[in-house]
Each structure stands twice: as C-alpha cells, then as structure tokens.
Structure 1
Amino acid sequence: MPRSLGELQSSLDRWAQEAGVPGAVVGVLHDGEESVAATGVSSVDAPLPVDGDTLFMVGSTTKTFTAAAVLALVEDGLLDLDAPVVEYLPDLVLADPAARSRVTSRHLLTHTGGFLGDVDIETGWGSDALAAAVAALADLPQVFPVGEVFSYSNSGFMLAGRVAEVVSGQLYEDLVRTRLLEPLGMDDSLFLPWEVFTRRHSVGHAFRDGSPVVAHTPGLPRSAAAAGGLWSSARDQLRWARFFLLGETKGTAPFGEAARNALFEPQRPAASPFEQVGLSWLRTRHGDAELVRHGGNVSNIQVSEFVTLPAERFAVTVLTNSAGGSALGPRVVDWCLEHLVGVPPVPAAPALPRPDLAEYTGTYATGDLAFEFTARDGGLWLRLVVTGELGDLPPAAEVVFVADDVVARAADTSKRAARFVRDSTGRVTAVEYGGRTAYRADA
C-alpha cells in the first residue's frame, strides 16, 4: 500500500469513530492501480470485520447502472432516448396527460420528468414489484413541466428501469446482471436480499441514545431497485470505475466507447450543489477540478460516495453503514483528492452581510422531504425533515450567505448548501438543496 494510503488507513480508523460509523471501506483507483482501506465491523450485533469484498448498499449510485443499461439498449437499436416513453409503455398513466405524451427516457435520466420524485412506493418483493410501482405513478402530482426543471427524481429512475424491462424482455435486475455486472466481473454486486444475505454483507445502523444500533430492514423496497437497490463491494465499485475511466472489462464490453462517454457528457444544468448532469452522472467542481460523481443514502442507514476525476484517471468510493457516512464520506474524498491527486482544498468563502431573512424563511417541500428555514438568534437555520425516516437526522444547522441567494453551512463555507430561486416578480418561491428543487409551502 502506498505510504499516503497507509496514512489514510490510520485517519479512516479515527474519522469513522468520530462520525459514529461502525464499518467503512474505501476503494481507490489511480492510473490503473487499485488500493483498499477498511475499518470497523459489518454489524454491532454480530461484528465481523469489513473488507474490500464486504457488500454494502450503494444507494443512488445504482442510477448509473440503470442509465448504462438504457444506453446499452439504445446501442442495440431497441430504444430511442428522445422518443416518448409512452411508445414503449402504452399503458402508462401519469397525472398530467401532457407530461405522459412528452416525457422521454432522456428526461428521466436527467431528472427532468417533472413529476414528484421523492416517494416510497411499496409493492412487495415479487417479480412484478417495479411494474406495480410504475402503475402507481398515476397518483404523483406533476410539479414542473417536462424538461424545464432539474429536481432529483427517484420515481423517474423507477420509470426508466421499467422501460428497460419492457424493451429488453428481462426483469430489471436480470438485465443489469447479464448486460453489465457479468461482463465487468462484478460478481459481488446483487439486488435481492435472499442473494445478498448468503454473502459477507454489512447491515445498516440507526442511532439511539447516541450509539449505533442495527436497523432491521434493508432500507428500500424492491420497487426502488432501479433508483437505489444495488448491493456491492468496494472492489466491485472499482471495477465499475475502471470500465468508465479506462474502458477495461473482464469480458465483452457492455457497450462501445461512444455510449460510455455519452453517460458522462453534460446534458443540462443541475440543481445545487451539482452544476451539471450527464445521463445519471452528476458533475461538480472542486476548485479547478471537474468531478463526475454519484453516491447514495439508503434511508439514512447506509451512505456511500463515488467520485471520479477523469482528467487524472482517478476514482474513490466510500461505503459506510450508518448516517455518519454523510460526514465521513466527503472527508475521505477531500483527503484523497488533496493527498493522492494533488487537488488543493477548496477555501472557505467569506460570509456576506445578512439580507432580510424573512424573504427566505419557510418550509420548502418535495414529497417525503422538507427543508425548513427559520430565523433564530439573528441567523438563518436549516433543518431537514423526512417522512418515515429510519435513521436519526442531523440537527438544525446555521447557514450563512456566500453569494446572492446562496447559502453554506456556517461551520463549513467551502461547500455551498442551497440556492434560493425567485419567480418573475423577484419573490423567493423555491430552494435547491441536495439536488432537489422544492417549492415554498406558501408559493
């Protein structure tokens, strides 16, 4: 292990304890060489050490597999990204008939379908789970016109997964396995719990009285497989990175270089904190460095990061088994960028004078998520509210303005937290946070 990664190991042990993460593993790919560092255990109830082959839920990084499966079908000539989805799913019903006639696979893969995105649709664990969930999309309101607003959408990727099922004639999980996982040698990447639970795997943890406790749930229903249901290991995630960065596969490539590059290429602007979106892949800047990334949060009990720096043929994946991964993951990524690639830290931004806080206070909601901004002690405070959340949520945090209508957490102004959106009259009516675009309740 290179000396710098040896330093990461000792820091990882300490940082995981500070963040309340029972177990975590980091995988690094740089110029074709792979390294893994791990710490802690897979479960506080039945502790086994985690390693590079331990399975974790990668959450929304699964969306990159869904997009890749769709692109494989495009390359096969079976699917047109810009054809209305209804051409492939004639029985599709959406709340807005105009949206039903217009929405395309490209809209779905770029989070611009416009119907409500943050919902849980429980349809059991049978092979019809995804089809039944898509039938339930008829109950979701059309929040934005198709194609006009980026707002992170789990339901959009469920619909994209169902399109792939119908076009390929395979269940979603089987399509991803045969077209992507097997050719890439990703033998430790699985979807179904009864397959995962026979392998060395990590369970998710919630917090009770300040200590991690096992959450006795997989965290997501089968209907959400295409949005976030993949279990994988750090070593398998590095195989995924190797394919995209280097074009290397164990077997026949799932698709050609043009389709591989198309997944990364920017399609349109995204919502804060992201800058652009490709086909599922999210693009951000870290100083002068251009990152292509994803990551995921499974019901706040398993949290992951997946970050690439294509210019340096570099990737890092961080898999964790508690909500503390939300702090640990970015810390590891920033360390790796600085010490392994030489990308300097982003400096803290100076806080600007406070504007009239009354312009910004209120609750901004999108499905099961809400962002509450309140004025307190002369400052603006942000609290996240999630319906039915399994793990503990972070406490309210003070935010400060670092640009016009842009706030960062007062504790770390190097990273923008949210951007407020105004209507044509200049009134604040929405906020972009975590890639979501949420309307203010009184808008």
Structure 2
Amino acid sequence: MIRLLLVLAALLPATPAPAHAAAPPDIDGYVRAYLDHTGLPGAAIAVTHNGDVVRVAGYGHDAAGAPITASTRLPIASLSKSMTAFAALQLAETHRLDLDEPVTRYLPDFRLADPRGAKITVRMLLDQTSGMADSAFPDLKLPQPHSLTEAVTRLKDARLASEPGAEFHYHNPNYEVAARIVEVVAGQPFAEYLKTRLFAPLGMTASTTVDTPPAGAEGYVRAFGIELPVSEPDWFTGGSHGVLTTAEDLAKWLRAQQDGGGVLSPASVRSAHTPAPGRDYALGWRVRDGRASHTGDWFSHTAAQVLLPGGYAVAVVANTGLSLDNEAELLAQDLASVLEGGSPEPSLPAGVVADRVLGAPALAAVGLAVLGVRRARKRHWWRLVPPLLPLVPLVFLPELLGWVFAGRRGTYAQVLYVWPGLVVSLGVVALAGLIVAVARARALVSGTRGRDQEESGETRGDAQWASASRRSGS
C-alpha cells in the first residue's frame, strides 16, 4: 500500500512553486533616501493596510535637535478637519445634529454682513461650499480670535464670495464654525469632546487639539537650500487645524477610516469620503482618482494623509512649513507609489528649485547696480523709472501671492515664512534698483546745477565784457 502511494505521488504533477513573492515595501529605505536627497530635517509616518498597522516611525530630528520618533507629538494642521467632520457626523448619527439644517438653528449668533449667510447649512461648512472665502474675508490678515465663540462672532463683517451651496472655497472659518456647533450641541468644549468621544475610544491617548500653537512649537522654513529653525507664529487654529498627535495615534486614526473604529458607523465613514456629484471635496477629505486625501499646513510644519483603493493608508508629518508645495504631501504620495509597487525617485521640492532660480537674478542685480552707479550720468528724468519697477511687486507681494495660493492672502511676516527666498531675492533686486535710481537722480541734479552755474558764469562774463566795452568807448 505504501509503495502504491509513493508511485501515485510520483506520477501526480508537482504543484508549481509560487513565483517570487513580492518583497515587502521598503518604507524605511525610501523615507531615509528622501531625507538624504532633499535635506528634510525630520518626519513621522504611519502606514496601515486594511486595519493592520504596517509601520509607524520617526526620522531625522526636530528644531531642537531631538530625534523624531513614533511617539513625538507634532501638529497635523488641516488634517484636523477630517476629525472635526467625524465629530459632527457622530452627533448626526444620534440625531442631535442635522447636517442639512441652517447653521443659525444651532448658532443664533451666526450672522454675516451678507444676508445670504442665513442659507448656510452645516453640510456646506463641512464640504466648504458655504460661499465664505478668503477672497471675501481674508482670515489670515485680520486680527485673530481667541476662542471658537470669537471665531463665529467676528464673521459679522464677512461677506460671501458666492451663493451658499454653489461653489467650493477652501476657508478655515468654515471648520471653526463647525467646531463651535459641535461644542454647543454636545454641551462641552470642543477639545474635551474630541478627547472623550474620538481620541480616547480610538486609543489616541497622545492626541489633543489647541486653539493656538503651544509655546515652543518650532519647525523649519527653507531658504536657498538652507533649513532655518523658526517658531510657529501665534494664530487661531481651533476646529480647523489645531490637532497635535503622533505617528502611533495617526495609525489608529487611519484604521478608523475602514469601518469607523467603533466611534462612527461604516455608512457615516463612507459619507465622509464621498463628495457630492461634480465635486471632489467630501467632509474633510478630498477625493480624486479613487484616493481620499487631505493636506495640512502650518508655517513650520506640513502634514498629509492618503487612503488608497487597495486598502493601504498613509499619513506623514514633516517639520518644514507651508511653501510652494507641501513636503509631507510629496513624501506621502511617493510612499503611496511604493506601496502600490512603484519605484519613485526622490525629487527636490519646487520651493528649493525656485530659490535656486531666484538667486541668479538677485546676484545679477547686485552686479548691475554696481555698474549702474559707476556709469550714472546726467540723463533724462524718465531714466529714473526703470530701476524702481521692482519695488512694485515687493509692495504688493502679499496680494500677488494670494493668486498663487488660491486667494489666501497673508501679511508680509507670513509671506516671509512661506517663501523667504522670494522675499530676499525681490528685496535685493528692489534695493539694487533703488540705489541705481538714487545715483542717477544725483547725477541729474548735479548736472542741472552745473549747467545753471555755467549759464550764470556766462551771464556774468557778458556783463563784464559789456561794461569794459563801455569804459573803453568812453
């Protein structure tokens, strides 16, 4: 019998050996290569797959030189919006909040300068279609509130950029108002609500939310390839972009996007990830090409989260601030590619490349200024104008950058955080032009005085000659 079994086993076709299994994604290797190539000082990442934690880790160092780890608490900026939306959806599930009711039902003191504000619903706040916008109410340039209550009452001067429900405008006050609704309906401070109803049930014990950046919140800005440590400016972050958390806690947050993690029903989670027809912004998530994502920007840190169709999810926090591009987003998108089997190559952020481009005309302007001063001569007055032209973009720089950043206009100090290389380069060019203009003006004035003196001398000579002629004739 045994012999028969052995013969049959020999005759049966052998089960083909499996093809080489795909190697696990080298997440650590790619992140370290990215930091080495770009000079990014530090980052924290969280990667999950279908509810399982794949990797949580920290890399590099913070602005104080301490190593960043998986338990280092960092600001995630506007990733906080998806958490505020979760809180609102929780209240909607218990029928304490109706997303399609007007905001004024829950906040009677919500009054705008535009009467159309009475039409704004809670859902319009969450999907950013309220009609409020930075172009109509430049939030960053205005005095900042100190509480969610003040954040709502200061909107009495706000006008609308469009009819409520008609257009998408990314605007932080939308989520400040939404957070105020949460605390009014729940009957407890917003930070306490998140702690007890969201963070604690999900096990996010290191997470909290703040209305203003804490003392000592420091990151980096880049200028001409140099990372400069800076303190986060004092601005209002409550409800919109105020959550501080860790890579470990972000992994728990990403896992909750699968089925709600026990704090929200799967149906409500799907609604948070599903935009209205014809739009790509849902409730605290932007959905494009099958991916749900969101980015976040502080002036000293950036963050990004991405949900991939295959079940992977990625979150990244980087300690470089708002710039031409979000560096956490760049790294998160590259990690998403790695997880999907791609082989991305780290590339320099656009801001670093732009600084290199800007440096050349700044240096050229210095050389031309030296040459212009040495060659300053008596010329026409209109030659004073061209060297002064660079002062125009320097004066209107915040407004000009508002076009680049979708209407979000800030102060000069904020522009210096966002793009110090541009401010320095444009300042050098403008100063060089001013020096040349002053030199030409001095030459023009000096030439005019010389001509006046020459004409005066000729007049005196003619008078003296005429007088001498008269004496000689007499």
Same fold (TM over 0.5): yes
1:227 & 1:307 partners in 2: Cα distance? 18
What letter corresponds to residue 29 of structure 2 in structure 1? S
| 1:281 maps to 2:288 | no
- Native 8 Å contact 1:21 1:323 kept in 2: no
Counterpart for residue 61 of structure 2: 41
Larger Rg: 1 or 2?
2
Counterpart for residue 328 of structure 2: 329
- Native 8 Å contact 1:122 1:133 kept in 2: no
For residues 63 and 369 of structure 1, do their structure 2 counterparts lie closer, same or farther at Cα, with a shift above 3 Å needed?
Answer: farther
For residues 49 and 133 of structure 1, do their structure 2 counterparts lie closer, same or farther at Cα, with a shift above 3 Å needed?
Answer: same
Name the TM-score, length of structure 2 as normaliser: 0.65
Counterpart for residue 318 of structure 2: 320
Structure 1 residue 175, shift from structure 2 partner: 1.2
Structure 1 residue 365, shift from structure 2 partner: 11
| 1:175 maps to 2:193 | yes
- Native 8 Å contact 1:21 1:324 kept in 2: no
What letter corresponds to residue 176 of structure 2 in structure 1? M
Q: Which runs of 5+ in 2 are unaligned?
A: 1-21, 345-392, 423-474
Aligned ranges 1:96-175 → 2 under 5 Å: 96-99=114-117, 101-117=118-134, 119-120=139-140, 122-123=143-144, 125=146, 129-175=147-193
1:162 & 1:135 partners in 2: Cα distance? 11
1:338 & 1:322 partners in 2: Cα distance? 22
1:304 & 1:27 partners in 2: Cα distance? 11
Q: Which runs of 5+ in 1 are unaligned?
A: 271-275, 346-361, 374-381, 397-443
1:344 & 1:174 partners in 2: Cα distance? 43
2:130 & 2:212 partners in 1: Cα distance? 33
> 1 or 2, which has the higher strand percentage?
1
2:237 & 2:407 partners in 1: Cα distance? 26
Give RMSD over aligned pairs: 3.4
| 1:257 maps to 2:266 | yes
For residues 87 and 369 of structure 1, do their structure 2 counterparts lie closer, same or farther at Cα, with a shift above 3 Å needed?
Answer: farther
Name the TM-score, length of structure 1 as normaliser: 0.69
Q: Percent identity?
A: 27
2:241 to 228, 235, 240: 228
1:184 & 1:68 partners in 2: Cα distance? 12
For residues 143 and 368 of structure 1, do their structure 2 counterparts lie closer, same or farther at Cα, with a shift above 3 Å needed?
Answer: farther
| 1:389 maps to 2:415 | yes
For residues 279 and 13 of structure 1, do their structure 2 counterparts lie closer, same or farther at Cα, with a shift above 3 Å needed?
Answer: same
What letter corresponds to residue 40 of structure 2 in structure 1? V
- Native 8 Å contact 2:133 2:170 kept in 1: no
| 1:213 maps to 2:228 | yes
For residues 394 and 27 of structure 1, do their structure 2 counterparts lie closer, same or farther at Cα, with a shift above 3 Å needed?
Answer: farther
Counterpart for residue 295 of structure 1: 295
Q: Deviations 1:163-218 (Å, cap 9, x if unpaired)?
A: 11111111111111111011001011112489977xxx97322235642232223x
| 1:28 maps to 2:43 | no
- Native 8 Å contact 2:47 2:55 kept in 1: yes
Structure 1 residue 342, shift from structure 2 partner: 3.2
2:170 & 2:241 partners in 1: Cα distance? 13
| 1:67 maps to 2:73 | no
1:91 & 1:239 partners in 2: Cα distance? 36
| 1:342 maps to 2:359 | no
For residues 343 and 15 of structure 1, do their structure 2 counterparts lie closer, same or farther at Cα, with a shift above 3 Å needed?
Answer: closer
Aligned ranges 1:197-212 → 2 under 5 Å: 203-207=218-222, 210-212=225-227
What letter corresponds to residue 205 of structure 1 in structure 2? Y
What letter corresponds to residue 14 of structure 1 in structure 2? A
- Native 8 Å contact 2:145 2:151 kept in 1: no
| 1:10 maps to 2:10 | no
For residues 202 and 314 of structure 1, do their structure 2 counterparts lie closer, same or farther at Cα, with a shift above 3 Å needed?
Answer: farther
